[in-house]
Amino acid sequence: MTNPSETDGVTPETATEATAPGTLEAELAEARAKVDEHWNSYLRAVAETDNVRKRAQRDVEAASRYAIERFAAELLDVRDSLELGVAAGAAAEGARLLEGMEATLRLLNKAFEKSGVSVLDPVGQPFNPEFHEAMATQPSAEQPAGTVLAVVQKGYVLNGRLLRPARVLVARAPDPPAN
């Protein structure tokens, strides 16, 4: 069996030096200073983490509150154009009124385009239940079964995500002749 003082490097000569009260007090003071330093570092890290969390929460709240700000600003021109059209509508001739409506529609399409909104107008394409809602089927000899024949109401996609499906009429095989 080995003597514990041999394994830890403490000899009877150094044992008296290591246990001297002044040395122990100095080591204790040094250890306490390190503990205080680490504690302060910990408190600063906790405070910084809390500040980051609060800042991120404020950013998320602001983003959700003002997410459509850019889109809304684009629609202001559309609203102005519609108001002018309504004001001039009673005295305007049909062709001029139609021209104003077409200009307003161009403004709206431009606002949609800038905001990532695209129109689903699937005439002639295969029916896709992920983006189309079948309102009815109609026999067709010109189009293959399952093809969109007509759009009842256009659909819209926002940056690849469906906002509203296109409501469509879908082709089916022609009815067999009656005997």
pTM of the model: 0.60
pLDDT of residue 82: 86
Per-residue pLDDT tens over the stretch 157-175: 999 899 999 999 999 998 8
Q: How far apart are CA 62 and CA 67, in angstroms?
A: 8
163 closest CA partner among 128, 116, 122:
116
Q: Residue 15's pLDDT is what?
A: 52
Tokens of 155: 């659909």
Residue 11 has what pLDDT?
A: 58
Low pLDDT (below 50) residues in the chain: 1, 4-6
DSSP run (H or E) holding 34: helix 21-65
Please answer whether residues 132 and 166 qualify as being in contact, where contact means their C-beta atoms are separated by less than 8 angstroms. Answer: yes
**pLDDT of res. 146:** 94
- Three-state SS string over 89-109 comes to HCCCCHHHHHHHHHHHHHHHH
